[in-house]
Copies of this chain bind each other. A is one copy, B any other.
Amino acid sequence: MYTIGKLARATGVSIRALRYYDELGLLTPAATTETGYRVYSEDNLLRLQQILMLKQLGFSLKRIAEVLGHAGALSGEAAWRTALGQQLAALRAEQERLRRLEQLLHTALTALRMKGSFQLDDIELFVRSLQPENQRQRDEFRRRVFTDDERHILEALPNFGSDDPRLEEWAALLRRVRDSLQEPPFSPQAQQLAAELVTYGRSVFAGDDALLDKYWQQIKPQPGDPAAVYGLDAEMMAYIEAIVGWYEAHGEGGADG
């Protein structure tokens, strides 16, 4: 027999919590004194320990009440397994949700690095692009247009929701491009950028210039259309083509397409 205070000390549960469990009907004291004091029995202690265990496992009090039942009997192994399995499934779903949130945050940080600010549109674009349906469409498109080897390289491109360090580099690069849109393509600043863009492109496309070109053509939006790849709207792509074109015609590289 325990008073509420003793039970609280014995189990580490607060007195308030014990009264709350009583109020919920989750843990009803075995008896009450004439003066209204709650009196807990050993059975109460056992049930409380089951409650605490399920709480540890992330069950809500309501679920605990369902699982333990009014009687307090553990309803048999199969029922336990079902309850635990459901909890596990719910937990996994929540983890999946958080994983997507994390991708979104990475996206936001990258957008911030690219533009110095970001808007709802940026986020919405990514919420959409993370939908399974869009992923499927994109994959299907890639399967039609690219060979297996090519897709292998494309899938290794820095992924927007990740914390791939190359993303930071790419964001910084694109930001400088955006800040240089007024520069004529032949200016030293623009040509410096062109050189860095070419280097970056080579590195992420594993030196496969032809694939880079093919990909570049595929993602080019119509003027005014939204960017197919974040940060690469028609204006930016046109400018990049201009400076890289000049770079390849006159610059140090002077090489292929």
Asked if B84 contacts A112 (CB within 8 A), the reply is: yes
Known: A95-B102, A102-B88, A105-B88. A112 touches B80 (CB 8 A): yes
Q: Does A117 touch B at the CB level, under 8 Å?
A: yes
Q: Does A44 touch B at the CB level, under 8 Å?
A: no
| Most-contacted residue by chain B among A58, A74, A112, A127 (CB, 10 A) | A58
CA–CA, A91 and B80, complex, Å: 30
Nearest B residue to A102 via CB reads B91
Q: Does A50 touch B at the CB level, under 8 Å?
A: yes
Residues of chain B within 8 A (CB-CB) of A84 are: 105, 108-109, 112
B-contacting residues, A54-95, CB 8 Å:
56-58, 74, 77, 80-81, 84-85, 87-88, 91-92, 94-95
CA–CA, A108 and B81, complex, Å: 9
Q: Does A116 touch B at the CB level, under 8 Å?
A: yes
Nearest B residue to A107 via CB reads B57
- Determine how many copies of this chain the complex contains: 2
CA–CA, A57 and B84, complex, Å: 30
Q: Does A104 touch B at the CB level, under 8 Å?
A: yes
Which residue of B56, B81, B105 is within 8 Å of A127 (Cβ)?
B56
Total interface residues in chain A, CB < 8 Å:
36
CA–CA, A116 and B81, complex, Å: 10
Q: Does A249 touch B at the CB level, under 8 Å?
A: no
Asked if B116 contacts A57 (CB within 8 A), the reply is: no
Q: What is the 8 Å Cβ interface bit string for chain A, positions 103-119, against chain B (1 contact, 0 not)?
A: 01110110010001111
B-contacting residues, A18-55, CB 8 Å:
49-50, 52-53
Contacts A57-B108, A80-B118 known; 12 new A-B pairs at CB < 8 A: A49-B120, A50-B119, A53-B119, A53-B123, A57-B105, A58-B104, A81-B109, A84-B112, A88-B102, A91-B102, A95-B98, A95-B99
Q: Could you give 21 example pairs across A and B, Cβ below 8 Å?
A: A49-B120, A50-B120, A53-B119, A56-B127, A57-B108, A58-B101, A74-B117, A77-B117, A80-B112, A80-B117, A80-B118, A81-B109, A84-B105, A84-B108, A84-B109, A88-B106, A92-B102, A94-B98, A95-B98, A95-B99, A98-B98
Query: Would you list the 7 A-B pairs with minimal beta carbon distance, nearest first?
Result: A49-B120, A53-B120, A88-B105, A58-B101, A53-B123, A95-B98, A84-B109
Interface residues of A (CB under 8 A from B): 49-50, 52-53, 56-58, 74, 77, 80-81, 84-85, 87-88, 91-92, 94-95, 98-99, 101-102, 104-106, 108-109, 112, 116-120, 123, 127
